Amino acid sequence: MHLDSWLREFGPRGRETTDADSLEHLLDELEERYPRLRFKLRDETGQLRRYVRVFVDSEDVSGTTGVATPLTGARSVEILHSIAGG
């Protein structure tokens, strides 16, 4: 699991391994270990925030299976916080 440079300010600075079986459980673990991440990745309902993108084995799951994405057998999870504006 790897966070982009903006999110690393609130969580792990490098790659971490996990035994989480779903994206939801991975996020639960991260928020428990790094409380400053709480509400940065998910909203109050537990869903991914609009500008957070999660790639599981290079596939963007943010707009499809989201937090319900199974991680069994996954080799990599990248969590990115995109910047909006104009």
Ordered by start, the domain boundaries in the chain are 2-81
**Can you give the pLDDT at residue 65?**
96
Q: Which of 81, 80, 76 is nearest to 1 (CA)?
A: 76
Decide which of 1.10.3720.10, 3.40.50.450, 3.10.20.30, 3.40.50.720 is the CATH code for 2-81: 3.10.20.30
pLDDT of 36 over the 90 cut: yes
pTM, entire model: 0.91
**Can you give the pLDDT at residue 80?**
96
**Can you give the pLDDT at residue 54?**
97
**18-39 mean pLDDT:** 96
**48-69 mean pLDDT:** 96
Q: What is d(CA 39, CA 21) in angstroms, rounded to the nearest whole number?
A: 21
